[in-house]
Amino acid sequence: MRKEERGIGIFRWLFLWGFLLTGTFSAPAQQYTGMSGLIHVPSADMDDAGEIRVGAHFLNKEFLPDAGFNPLGRGKYHTTNHYLSITPFSWIELGYTCTLQKGLKNGNKDDIGFYHKDRYFSVKIRPVKEDKWWPGIAVGSNDPVTTDNNAHETGLPEKNKNQIFGNVYVAATKHLDIEGHCIGFHLAYRKWKRSCNRKWNGPVGGITFRPSFLKSLRAIAEYTGNEVNIGADCLLWKHLLLQASLQNGKYFSGGVCLQMNLF
């Protein structure tokens, strides 16, 4: 075999491997909740009908709410969560998230560990689908309801204190195709239920970029109402979704999930 032919063969092999590795597209994910979106900011993006996600995420302590993650006033800590989400129809998405919390074991103040969990459901409904002339519109909520309206150990004068991640939002998203590159513009208004999260209240949004030569990769920049986050997610082998981010350009969070379409 001639040298030129060997070179072409190696190039073709590498191209085929890269294609199989990255897949052809990447589903948008607000991965720390398991729902579609950006990093910390929701969007009007939705998964395809039948899409299901199972995954886990590392949460930097700076990423967490200021209450519920500070046992006995000893300071916040890094933690992880795991989740399951499904899109039964193209207009609705449902999710369940469980976040590990530190607390006392049998009331022993000298034994603080990951003995507790914060569990919540999420829902997103998209009444308006994105089209050529208008953006997609979605409304949603994380931890929308609770069966416990009592005060807990955080000491704040509020009910529904177990809704640590509770918020409601309305979001709009519009994508533009520029020479094969996909640029997404996302704007949302969000209201958190707990006063400890008020730094993230109000208008939030971000920009996403998906290059024409690698559709499985999505770069993200967002404003949360309090800080600017940057990150990226990428789909490998069509089913393994990875996301990494830097909160305020400094604090790492990231995760991995397995996704597939049941239809």
Q: How far apart are alpha carbons 154 and 116 in whole angstroms? A: 14
Q: Which residue shows structure tokens 């050529």?
A: 132
pLDDT of residue 74: 79
Query: How confident is the model at residue 112, as a pLDDT?
Result: 81
Task: Cite the beta strand spans of 20-71 per DSSP E.
Answer: 51-59
115 closest CA partner among 100, 126, 128:
100
Sign of the C-alpha dihedral, residues 164, 31, 136, 47?
negative
Closest to 95 (Cα-Cα) out of 107, 83, 80, 81: 83
The pLDDT value recorded for residue 11 is: 39
Residues across the chain: 263
Residue 223 is which amino acid? Y
Q: Residue 34 and residue 109: Cα distance in Å, rounded?
A: 33
Beta bridge partners of residue 98, listed in sequence order: 82, 119
Amino acid at site 14: L
pTM over the 0.75 mark: yes
Q: Enumerate the β-bridge partners of residue 185.
A: 174, 207
What pLDDT is attached to residue 16? 38
Report pLDDT for 59. 97
The residue range of the domain holding 123 is 3-261
3-class SS of residue 166: coil
Per-residue pLDDT of the chain (263 residues; tens, 9 = 90+): 554 444 444 434 433 344 334 444 556 778 899 999 999 999 999 999 999 999 999 999 999 988 888 877 778 999 999 999 999 999 999 999 999 998 877 766 777 888 889 999 999 999 999 999 999 999 999 999 876 655 544 444 555 567 899 999 999 999 999 999 999 999 999 999 988 899 999 999 999 999 999 989 999 999 999 999 999 999 999 899 999 999 999 999 999 999 999 98
CATH of the domain at 232: 2.40.160.40
Is beta strand 217-223 parallel, antiparallel or unpaired with respect to 202-210?
antiparallel
CB contact at 8 A, 226 and 202: no
Question: In this structure, are strands 51-59 and 251-261 parallel, antiparallel, or unpaired?
Answer: antiparallel
Per the structure, the count of domains in the chain is 1
224, two tokens: 């949360």
